[in-house]
């Protein structure tokens, strides 16, 4: 009898161990999905752990039924921020119970946070056949809440080859696909691999109709690696149309490991309208060395600040100081009897350049202004400025091709003016 009980305990223990088995996989990217939360989460471009540790990646953890139970987000720089296409959190925890899938979201310290839809919990419901038919958003008190798109609930049903999607707010009123794209009831067409192929705007009779911008569907093409390579906009007859952003379709370019590196957009006649390169996280190279022209201009702008004060040139002060100037020195508060960081605005500096040295007694007849560039990196620079009166550290920024002083930290050259520390 004891031997029989021991066998039973071993079987229970083995079963429990099997249920708790976690399979871990690594991926470079999430499958891009700007269509609907009906689509399952998936990774693309699998990695081994060694390679994952050396680059941007996601960690997927699965239970013994191959269901995702956790996703850890170690992706950086190129993650697409979109309420449907990105996680927006460090960790997603997924639980399964009573035909429901519950997703909760956490930061790196294990604190519950909102995801890119600005909700704290997502609960997906499945019917007895395993079809995903509803998703609801909840807050920390498990009360229904709306997303940043004003959606509290999604519902899905089947109609011929389409997945019919409807969205509702907390008042049970129907809601558009998104605030910037007015599709009401929509029909989602998936390809054989479960990737979104087309997304249709439907009327009450489930017929394809154009929205307020003349678009009846947008369609997607994915390549064999799972990259989202083409997206296009069509009328109710399936013909290309110009969307509200002024193009008909776009083509994305990817590198060998799935980073998007380019985008080109076309009109309805397949004529190229515009294109751009997309930054990649494969390798970020240092900028080239600053030009002689940049160095000369940085010195001119830095010295211009002192010259504007010395020679009463408010227009020069206005030129060299950035509108967001943060000019700080050491101040003394008599009430608290403590030192503090005292700020001066650009407006005040222009006023000072108008009248502060009107008596010509603030500087020597021949001022000794010395400037040294400490560092330049592309469009930012550090400068040390020493005059007869002050020692100053300047930070400059280059905007629209023009350098200006944005941060300035200074103190009197005569340190005897300050209390001893």
What is the rounded distance in angstroms from the CA atom of residue 26 to the CA atom of residue 226? 15
Polymer length of the chain? 421
What is the rounded distance in angstroms from the CA atom of residue 421 to the CA atom of residue 418? 9
Inside any domain, residue 212: yes
Inside any domain, residue 354: yes
Considering the domain architecture, whether residues 355 and 210 belong to the same structural domain is answered as no
Inside any domain, residue 14: no
Considering the domain architecture, whether residues 238 and 326 belong to the same structural domain is answered as no
Considering the domain architecture, whether residues 238 and 315 belong to the same structural domain is answered as no
Q: What is the dihedral of CA 93, 96, 101, 102, to 10 degrees?
A: -40
pLDDT 10s digits, 155-214: 999 999 999 999 999 999 999 999 999 999 999 999 988 899 999 999 999 999 999 999
Considering the domain architecture, whether residues 230 and 308 belong to the same structural domain is answered as no
> What is the residue range of 40's domain?
20-277
pLDDT 10s digits, 265-280: 999 999 999 999 987 7
Q: Do the beta carbons of residue 82 and residue 34 sit within 8 Å?
A: yes
Q: What is the CA radius of gyration of the chain?
A: 31
Considering the domain architecture, whether residues 98 and 186 belong to the same structural domain is answered as yes
pLDDT at 293 over 70: yes
User: How many domains does the chain fold into?
Assistant: 2
Calculate the CA 407 to chain-centre distance.
Answer: 26
Inside any domain, residue 256: yes
Inside any domain, residue 287: no
pLDDT at 11 over 90: no
Q: How confident is the model at residue 13 (pLDDT cuts 50, 70, 90)?
A: very low
Residue 398, classed as helix, strand or coil, is: strand
pLDDT 10s digits, 391-412: 999 999 999 999 999 999 999 9
Sheet of strand 338-344, all strands in order from the earlier edge strand to the far edge: 338-344, 321-333, 402-412, 390-399, 380-386, 370-377
Considering the domain architecture, whether residues 268 and 344 belong to the same structural domain is answered as no
Considering the domain architecture, whether residues 66 and 144 belong to the same structural domain is answered as yes
The CATH number of residue 338's host domain is 3.10.450.50
Q: Which residues of 120-152 are buried (b: 16+ CB within 10 A; e: fewer)?
A: bbbbbbeeeeeebbebbbbeeeeeebbbebebb
Query: Which of 277, 303, 319 is the last residue in one of the domains?
Result: 277
pLDDT at 370 over 50: yes
């Amino acid at each position: 009898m004891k031997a029989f009980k021991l066998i039973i305990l071993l079987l229970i223990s083995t079963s429990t161990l099997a249920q708790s088995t976690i399979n871990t996989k690594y991926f470079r990217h999430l499958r891009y999905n700007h269509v609907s939360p009906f689509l399952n989460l998936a990774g693309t471009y699998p990695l081994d752990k060694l390679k994952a540790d050396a680059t941007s990646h996601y960690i997927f953890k699965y239970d013994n039924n191959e269901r995702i139970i956790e996703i850890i987000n170690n992706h950086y720089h190129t993650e697409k921020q979109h309420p449907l296409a990105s996680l927006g959190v460090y960790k997603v925890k997924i639980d399964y119970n009573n035909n429901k899938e519950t997703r909760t979201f956490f930061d790196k310290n294990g604190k519950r946070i909102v995801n890119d839809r600005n909700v704290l919990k997502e609960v997906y419901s499945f019917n007895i056949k395993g079809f995903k038919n509803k998703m609801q958003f909840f807050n920390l008190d498990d009360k229904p809440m709306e997303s940043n798109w004003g959606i509290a609930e999604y519902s899905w049903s089947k109609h011929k080859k389409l997945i019919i999607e409807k969205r509702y707010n907390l008042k049970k009123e129907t809601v558009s696909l998104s605030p910037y794209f007015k599709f009401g009831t929509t029909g989602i067409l998936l390809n054989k691999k479960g990737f979104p192929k087309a997304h249709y705007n439907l009327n009450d009779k489930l017929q394809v109709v154009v929205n307020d911008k003349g678009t009846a569907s947008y369609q997607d093409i994915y390549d064999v690696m799972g990259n989202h390579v083409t997206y296009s906009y069509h009328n109710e007859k399936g013909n290309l149309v110009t969307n509200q952003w002024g193009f008909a379709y776009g083509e994305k370019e990817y590198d060998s490991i799935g980073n998007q590196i380019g985008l080109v957009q076309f009109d309805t006649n397949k004529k190229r309208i515009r294109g751009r390169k997309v930054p990649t996280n494969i390798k970020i190279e240092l900028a080239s060395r600053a030009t002689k022209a940049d160095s000369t201009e940085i010195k001119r702008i830095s010295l211009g600040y002192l010259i504007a004060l010395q020679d009463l040139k408010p227009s020069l002060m206005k030129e060299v100081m950035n509108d967001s100037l943060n000019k700080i020195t050491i101040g003394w508060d008599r009430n608290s009897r403590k030192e503090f960081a005292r700020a001066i605005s650009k407006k005040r500096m222009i006023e000072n350049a108008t009248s502060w040295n009107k008596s010509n007694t603030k500087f020597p007849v021949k001022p000794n202004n010395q400037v040294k560039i400490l560092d330049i990196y592309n469009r930012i620079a550090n400068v040390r400025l020493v005059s007869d009166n002050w020692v100053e550290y300047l930070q400059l920024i280059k905007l629209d091709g023009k350098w200006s002083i944005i941060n300035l930290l200074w103190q009197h050259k005569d340190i005897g003016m300050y209390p001893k520390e």
